[in-house]
Chain A
Amino acid sequence: MKKLYVNVRYLIVPVMTVTTIIGLFIGGIYAWIGVFLFGINTILDTLTKDIHLKADFDEDGNSYGIKIFQYSVMYLMLPIFIILQLALANNLYKFIYLEVLEISELVGSILSCGLWAGLGIIYGHELSHNKREGFNVSRAIMALSGASHFTYAHVYNHHLDLGHEDDPATAPRGRNVYAHAWLSHAGQSKFSYDLENAKLKKLNKSFFSLQNKWLLGYLYSLPSIILFVWSGGLVGVIALFIVWVISNFLLEALNFMGHYGLIRETGKPVEHRHSWDNDNLFTSWFFIEIGRQCDHHVRGETYFWELDDVKGPNYGIGYFSLFVLALIPSLFRKFTQKHLDNWDQNYATGAEKEIVNKYYVNELLQKASK
């Protein structure tokens, strides 16, 4: 029974994504179901903010997670996310060529698709750490959002340079989520481009080689572009652009919330204190434990169902609730300030405190004296 509970609880996103797809096919008010579910999830996340669970292991220390089941679900999410795009393309076709769809239905379809396509990140992320087939599925899922570069940048850049200015996915203090989304996306793509360039030069291969994973990654997004051009022409291109903007914004918002303002000294190992945990009940189950960032960044290849609370820095609320705060930068800064102060006092090393003083405290004092 425990085994069933541990494994089934991670099916919220698959079930809700399928529900969103059905809503898109039915049309009418149901085209908005993805947006509605997002709202419901924010309420559920806020209601469960004080419930924090530990990972589940039996008496012998073995996890209840069933690897073949969890992997089957993650792999199955690739065709599900493809069907989600097909459902939107179908509605575009009905709107443009058949003229049987209202504009409100189309808007609902685009927003619903964007929000749930953005959740592909949680599977793209998990599979990026599980090599070979899983890595390729990760690339394919991310390509549906035009972000195939993420898989390489996440492993070779973010995990190595976390908490440091060399990591575009770590947001420095004071930056807002809107600026971070663009800077992090472009920075990770640039990293992936440089990584491939360096590799190809070492191998004496041309930039236009089939071994150029940066280039190939963007080519993987071509089927989506062709589908939307075919189904909606210019409107289709605009719809796909909106879907990509929303889904990449969600992806980068997770990076933003996971490491905002945290600092690591050059060359020092990544420790639990270099990430924020968001591990209340709903966030843990919905985001397949991606919120257990502290443990994940120290044990990067550990399956998500085995990640645990390691008593690292913790915002105390879930991703949905924090995301709402992040959308209002002044509120987000106010909320995070007390957590950052606590981090500076109780988690930072002497050298990390010096960096805080050099880059943030002195700057604030200078601003105040002007």
Chain B
Amino acid sequence: MFKNFFNKKKSFAVNIFPGDQEISISRGETLLAGALRSGLAWPHKCQVGSCGRCRCKILEGKIRPEIDFNYVLDPVDVASGFVLACQSTAKTDIKVSVDLTHKRK
């Protein structure tokens, strides 16, 4: 009964497209924090969930949203899988789409 409770994964694999790069993020760590720790140039600005610069699309897997994304993202985009990387922690291994070739405005 408690098997899943005690055997919780401590880290999750994140496959990033395009480019098919793989990083690992810890349980409770945000997608953005994990990406920056791995040296990726993930677009970001405020890191508190208010600017929307770190938005990305979840292609596969589940995340836990730390805030209501509807303040910053369009509800249609949220419904189609867009999230804020700085306010998303992984619940499973995930595949995500983000443009890492952005230029800072």
A interface list, Cβ under 8 A from B: 129, 131-132, 135, 155-157, 159-160, 195, 199, 202-203, 267, 269-270, 299-301
**Which parts of B6-51 form the interface with A (CB within 8 Å)?**
30, 45-51
| CB-based nearest B residue for A128 | B48
List of B residues within 8 angstroms of A301 by Cβ: 30, 47-48, 86
Please state if A199 and B71 are interface contacts (CB–CB under 8 Å): yes
Chain B interfacial residues counted at CB < 8 A? 20
Q: Chain B residues near A159 (CB, 8 Å)?
A: 46, 48, 50
- Taking the nearest CB of chain B, how far is it from the CB of A129, in angstroms? 6
**Which of chain B's residues 61-77 have a Cβ closer than 8 Å to chain A?**
66-68, 70-72, 74-75
Which residues of chain B are near A135, meaning CB under 8 Å?
67
Shortest A130–chain B CB gap in Å is: 9
Of A129, A132, A195, the contact of B71 (CB 8 Å cutoff): A195
Q: List 12 A-B contacts (CB under 8 A).
A: A155-B48, A155-B49, A156-B49, A156-B50, A159-B46, A159-B48, A195-B71, A199-B71, A203-B70, A269-B45, A299-B47, A301-B86
Task: Please determine whether A199 and B70 come into contact, CB atoms closer than 8 angstroms.
Answer: yes
Q: Does B105 contact A (CB under 8 A)?
A: yes
Q: B47, B87, B104 — which one has the most chain A CB atoms within 10 A of its CB?
A: B47
Known: A160-B46, A267-B105. A131 touches B87 (CB 8 A): yes
- Bound complex: CA of A155 vs CA of B72, how far in Å? 12
A268 to chain B, nearest CB (A): 9
A134 — nearest CB in chain B belongs to which residue? B66
Find B48's partner among A129, A199, A202, A267 (CB 8 Å cutoff): A129
Apart from A156-B50, A157-B50, list 18 A-B contacts with CB within 8 A.
Answer: A129-B48, A131-B49, A131-B66, A131-B67, A135-B67, A155-B50, A156-B71, A159-B48, A160-B50, A160-B51, A195-B71, A202-B75, A203-B70, A203-B75, A269-B104, A299-B47, A301-B48, A301-B86
Q: Which 8 A-B pairs have the closest CB atoms?
A: A131-B66, A300-B48, A160-B50, A156-B50, A159-B48, A202-B75, A131-B67, A300-B47
- Nearest CB of A to B91, in Å: 14
B87–A202 contact, CB under 8 A?
Answer: no
Please name the residue on chain B nearest to A130 by beta carbon: B66
Distance (whole angstroms) from the CB of B35 to the closest CB of chain A: 14
A300 touches B75 (CB 8 A): no
B67 to chain A, nearest CB (A): 5
Q: Which residues of A contact B87 (CB under 8 A)?
A: 131
Q: Which residues of B contact A299 (CB under 8 A)?
A: 47
Docked pose: A301 CA to B47 CA in angstroms: 7
> Which residue in chain A gives the minimum CB-CB distance to B33?
A301
CB neighbours of A199 from chain B (8 A): 68, 70-71
Q: Separation in Å of the B7 CB from the closest CB of chain A?
A: 22
Alpha-carbon distance A284/B87, docked complex (angstroms) = 28
Q: Give chain A residues whose Cβ lies under 8 Å from the Cβ of B49.
A: 131, 155-156
B54 to chain A, nearest CB (A): 12
Residues of B within 8 A of A269 (CB): 45, 104
